């Protein structure tokens, strides 16, 4: 019988190093993720920090020029930083290319009143402070989905659980997906499983986790991972292009996010940051091309989800309590 299974991806420099006697230990099947997206793919792509229609147009043009497939576009400044017309333009442009658009929910601690986020400890970070901030995030989600946005980005456990309950009750569309921000991402298997239980459909994890950590998380939960292959400076600035194949093997299903280190922050975006935002948008797409080329050279570019795929598959949720009587 002929073995039709695909050849294992080669490791960087393995032939040259083997000739010198440097042979790495064999890959363990126990480390590989048993999960995939419902379409059978193990990885998808995402371009983050696309802050408005002009930046989106730049990304779409550059992705066509460099032949970079995109499954998801995400934005970081928030729904509340965009007009209805701008959101509608982004929704329509993504729909034309069958790309999922993900917008961030509003009030976050780093932009709110209070000094704790300015301290060395960071205080409550991006989490929503008080009822009014929670309500603002809900308002953002309602407004975005009414305008056709199907993915909402969150940075607070309470906001996520509230939005998941609204989705379960039919207030938000049933096919809305919730993405957890990298700035609050879990770093252990138990925490990852909690975020999935609260309603997360994909979860950013910090880019500095070890390969073993990826396998540990995958033994505890199956929600898709969002991973910066290259992380922005405020997330450490890590560049893990040569780990991409192994991150897919251990973390599947995973979104490969093409971030950018050594670049100033652009949140919240406005016209005063236009030139920087458009330049970094173009470079994020180019970084994506570099990652895809590297995967191809190592024979690890198989398994990408079909373009247009967006749903995460069946996930484990905490029971949603019945709504209280009015």
Check pLDDT > 70 for residue 109: no
Check pLDDT > 70 for residue 155: yes
Beta carbons of 55 and 265 less than 8 angstroms apart: no
What domain range is 211 assigned to?
A: 43-113+124-297
- What CATH number corresponds to the domain at position 289? 3.20.20.70
Nearest Cα neighbor of 84 from 107, 53, 56 is 53
Mean pLDDT value of segment 197-210: 95
Highest mean pLDDT among 19-33, 80-94, 256-270: 80-94
Q: CA torsion 122→124→127→128, rounded to 10°?
A: -130
pTM of the model: 0.91
* Helix axis angle, 274-297 to 53-66, nearest 10°: 30
Instruction: For the chain, give the number of residues.
Output: 326
Mean pLDDT value of segment 238-255: 94
* C-alpha to C-alpha distance for 280 and 292, rounded to whole angstroms: 18
Domain annotation covers residue 23: no
Domain annotation covers residue 78: yes
pLDDT of residue 14: 85
Identify the DSSP state of 316: -
Domain annotation covers residue 32: no
Question: What is the number of H-type helices and E-type strands within the chain?
Answer: 9, 8
- The total of structural domains in the chain comes to 1
Check pLDDT > 80 for residue 13: yes
* C-alpha to C-alpha distance for 138 and 167, rounded to whole angstroms: 11
Domain annotation covers residue 91: yes
Domain annotation covers residue 270: yes
Check pLDDT > 70 for residue 168: yes
Domain annotation covers residue 200: yes
Mean pLDDT value of segment 100-121: 73
Check pLDDT > 80 for residue 260: yes
Provide Rg for the chain, Cα atoms. 20
Nearest Cα neighbor of 126 from 189, 83, 190, 76 is 76
Highest mean pLDDT among 185-194, 235-244, 268-277: 185-194
110 token code pair: 């780093």
| Mean residue pLDDT across the chain | 91
Write the pLDDT tens digit of every residue in 224-242: 999 999 998 888 888 999 9
Other CB atoms closer than 10 Å to residue 91's CB: what's the count? Answer: 17
Domain annotation covers residue 186: yes
Domain annotation covers residue 206: yes
40 token code pair: 């059978």
pLDDT of residue 3: 41
């Amino acid at each position: 019988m002929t073995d039709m299974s695909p050849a294992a991806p080669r490791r960087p420099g393995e032939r040259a190093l083997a000739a010198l006697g440097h042979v790495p230990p064999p890959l363990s099947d126990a480390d590989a993720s048993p999960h995939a997206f419902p379409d059978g793919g193990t990885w998808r792509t995402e371009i983050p920090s696309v802050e408005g229609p002009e930046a989106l147009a730049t990304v779409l043009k550059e992705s066509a020029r460099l032949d970079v497939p995109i499954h998801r576009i995400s934005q970081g400044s928030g729904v509340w930083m965009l007009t209805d017309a701008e959101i509608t333009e982004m929704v329509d442009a993504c729909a034309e290319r069958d790309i999922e658009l993900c917008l961030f929910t509003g009030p976050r601690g780093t932009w709110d009143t209070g000094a704790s986020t300015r301290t060395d400890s960071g205080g409550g970070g991006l989490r929503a402070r008080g009822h009014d901030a929670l309500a603002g995030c809900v308002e953002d989600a309602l407004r975005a989905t009414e305008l056709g946005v199907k993915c909402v980005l969150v940075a607070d456990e309470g906001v996520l659980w509230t939005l998941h309950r609204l989705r379960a009750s039919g207030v938000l569309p049933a096919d809305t997906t919730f993405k957890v921000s990298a700035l609050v991402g879990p770093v252990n298997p138990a925490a990852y499983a909690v975020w999935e239980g609260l309603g997360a459909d994909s979860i950013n994890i910090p880019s500095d986790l070890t390969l073993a950590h990826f396998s540990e998380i995958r033994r505890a939960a199956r929600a898709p991972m969002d991973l910066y292959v290259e992380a922005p400076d405020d997330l450490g600035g890590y560049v893990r292009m040569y780990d991409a194949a192994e991150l897919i093997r251990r973390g599947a299903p995973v979104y490969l996010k093409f971030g950018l280190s050594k670049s100033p922050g652009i949140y919240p975006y406005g016209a005063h940051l236009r030139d920087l935002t458009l330049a970094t948008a173009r470079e994020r797409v180019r970084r994506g091309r570099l990652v895809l080329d590297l995967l191809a050279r190592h024979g690890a570019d198989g398994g990408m989800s079909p373009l247009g795929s967006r749903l995460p598959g069946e996930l484990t949720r905490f029971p949603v309590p019945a709504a209280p009587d009015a």
